[in-house]
Amino acid sequence: AHENTGLQSQPPLEEQNYGATAAHVRQDPLVSVTRNSPAKRDYLIVGVLCYANLINFMDWFIVPGILLDIQKYFKLRDAGTGLLQTVFILCYMLAAPFFGYLGDRYNRKIILGAGIFFWSGVTLGTSFISESYYWIFFLSRGLVGIGTASYSTIAPTIIADRFDEGKRTTMLSVFYICIPVGSGLGYVLASSMADVTGDWHWAFRITPCMGGLALVLLILLVPHRIQRRTEAHRALSISGTIRVAAEKPGVQRTAKTTWCQDVISLGKNWSFVWSSLGLTAMAFVTGALGLWVPMFLYRAQVVQGIVSPCLQKSCNSSNSLIFGGITIGTGILGVIAGAEAARRLRKINNKADPLICATSMFVSALCLYVALMAAQVDILFTFIFIAFGELFLSVNWAVVTDILLYVVTPRRQSTAIALQILVSHLLGDAGSPYLIGTISNAIQAKNDHSFQWSFWSLQYSFIICVFVGVFGGGFFLLTSFYIEEDRKEAEQ
């Protein structure tokens, strides 16, 4: 769900002055020449932004990496534990449009720097909270969510402004691959620090130091004023034809529409609606898995007698370590495989993109079901099928963004992306961790307090993710019925 955030802070394309600026582009051949040969400094800037994005997502997933310790320390039940991630995502989601607005109007370097400083400071502060102040811990997670929103919405627009179309896609792909890598490293870092020091608080003291380095690199290497691509350039990079726009300004110039008219129009665009619901199902499943899988595996191991129940100060977090590795590997493999499969199959079938998404959602749901059922008898088998489930989920990230970009007319793309982010987080990963925890609590309340039932309660509540995954596949199948028609309409 996080992939799309980069595009939302581009100004709506209907506000662009096509005629004059387009003509200006044609008269100035240097524009395209400089764009086609990015300077070394541009690559350095991308390097700094990718490094900070890595830390950004490590901070997202420190809590799931040591969830068992946190739950025990603050004496939280499953519902309260799930609420931790929900608070984080809700604050992130609500702050993103605000930072998108600021990023379009004010100095982006200052906003980025302030964001990194703010979320690193809050994360460091989190490591000193005592057990009686659990509400401050919840508050701090919300504040970190706000800090990371400032980064996720603005950083990709800087990359988009430094590179021309072909290179831009490559650079943004590198930026987005930092998401699964950073997420996985979050688990690995959190569990390793808790193991080494015997105190989970130390997990929150490493990324702030890395954030400090990112801030220094940002100040030294990223220019204070990053020139925005001219309005014409941004329009033309999407339409891809400099000359047509220059010679026929009237072709591109469309009547201005209000935000409400745009939303109504998007509501009638069935490819956009169904693919957004498919993305929401993906976000729901990934949100729930991201928080609960290490805890689920621990409870399965206790039931099998592989590990003893965690009663001492620091719990064994090897599950988080392994799950972190799986997240990194399947994330990178999935994103690359999805993009490559789409590239090849589009040549044969115009509906390839939604069909790839539908198939991978169905296969992922099946793998998750097998993993859940196997957990009580064979942990290795469970890990293997969780890895396949995550791999097939990751296949879709790049492809869903692509679908949006060609079924929505360019001047409504910013609005479409903002809406898609809002819906996929609001109905997806904002609620799923809390929902799973609440159902688990309800099941435990009706049965005796045993390790067997604490495992079963989480297992039964996880089954929801399988159903949501199947629904997601269904939504992508529905997308395939409308995609050719909507694509033609968007091109016109």
Chosen domain end from 226, 244, 272: 226
Collapse the DSSP code of 448 into the 3-class scheme (helix H, G, I; strand E, B; otherwise coil) and give the result.
coil
333 against 311, higher pLDDT? 333
User: How buried is residue 341: exposed, middle or buried, by Cβ count under 10 Å (0-12/13-18/19+)?
Assistant: middle
pLDDT band at 31 (very low <50, low <70, confident <90, very high): very low
User: 253: left (phi > 0), else alpha (psi -120 to 50), else beta?
Assistant: beta
With DSSP H G I counted as helix, E B as strand and the rest as coil, what are the percentages for the chain, rounded to 5? 85, 0, 15
Shared-domain flag, residues 192 and 64: yes
User: At residue 253, does pLDDT exceed 60?
Assistant: no
pLDDT value, residue 229: 56
**Distance of alpha carbon 149 from alpha carbon 222, whole angstroms:** 19
Encoded tokens for 489: 């309409």
Residue 109 located in a structural domain: yes
| CB atoms near residue 21 (< 10 Å) | 19
- The DSSP output letter for 425 is I
Shared-domain flag, residues 202 and 297: no
Q: Into how many domains does the chain fold?
A: 2
pLDDT value, residue 289: 92
Residue 143 located in a structural domain: yes
Residue 244 located in a structural domain: no
Q: What are the pLDDT digits (tens) for 83-124?
A: 998 999 999 888 888 887 788 788 889 999 999 999 999 999
Shared-domain flag, residues 198 and 49: yes
C-alpha distances in angstroms, 225 versus 7, 38, 219, 405?
Answer: 20, 17, 12, 28
pLDDT value, residue 214: 95
Residue 284 located in a structural domain: yes
Shared-domain flag, residues 134 and 274: no
Shared-domain flag, residues 314 and 216: no
pLDDT value, residue 314: 63
pLDDT value, residue 397: 82
Shared-domain flag, residues 456 and 382: yes
Residue 59 located in a structural domain: yes
Q: 222-226, 229-233, 366-370: lowest mean pLDDT where?
A: 229-233
Contact 451, 340 (CB under 8 A): no
Chosen domain end from 226, 249, 274: 226
Q: 178-182, 243-247, 417-421, 439-443: lowest mean pLDDT where?
A: 243-247
Which residue has 């290497």 as its token pair? 221
Chosen domain end from 211, 226, 241: 226
Residue 406 located in a structural domain: yes
Shared-domain flag, residues 205 and 307: no
pLDDT value, residue 169: 67
Shared-domain flag, residues 222 and 355: no
Q: Which domain holds residue 119?
A: 38-226
Of 347, 272, 12, 42, nearest to 175 (Cα)?
42
Shared-domain flag, residues 263 and 210: no
Shared-domain flag, residues 171 and 297: no
Residue 459 located in a structural domain: yes
Shared-domain flag, residues 169 and 277: no
pLDDT band at 19 (very low <50, low <70, confident <90, very high): very low
C-alpha distances in angstroms, 180 versus 6, 141, 185, 214, 329?
Answer: 16, 20, 8, 19, 8
| CB atoms near residue 439 (< 10 Å) | 20
- Average pLDDT of the chain is 82
Residue 135 located in a structural domain: yes
Q: What are the pLDDT digits (tens) for 113-132?
A: 999 999 999 999 999 998 88
Q: Give the CATH number for residue 86.
A: 1.20.1250.20
pLDDT value, residue 132: 87
Give the burial string for 221-237 (b: 16+ CB within 10 Å, else e): ebeeeeebbbbbbbbbb
Shared-domain flag, residues 283 and 187: no
**Distance of alpha carbon 180 from alpha carbon 359, whole angstroms:** 21
User: At residue 25, does pLDDT exceed 80?
Assistant: no
pLDDT value, residue 422: 82
pLDDT value, residue 224: 80
6 against 418, higher pLDDT? 418
Q: Report if pTM > 0.85.
A: no
Q: What are the pLDDT digits (tens) for 462-471?
A: 999 999 999 9
Encoded tokens for 477: 């199948």
| Crossing angle (nearest 10°) for helices 78-105 and 432-445 | 170
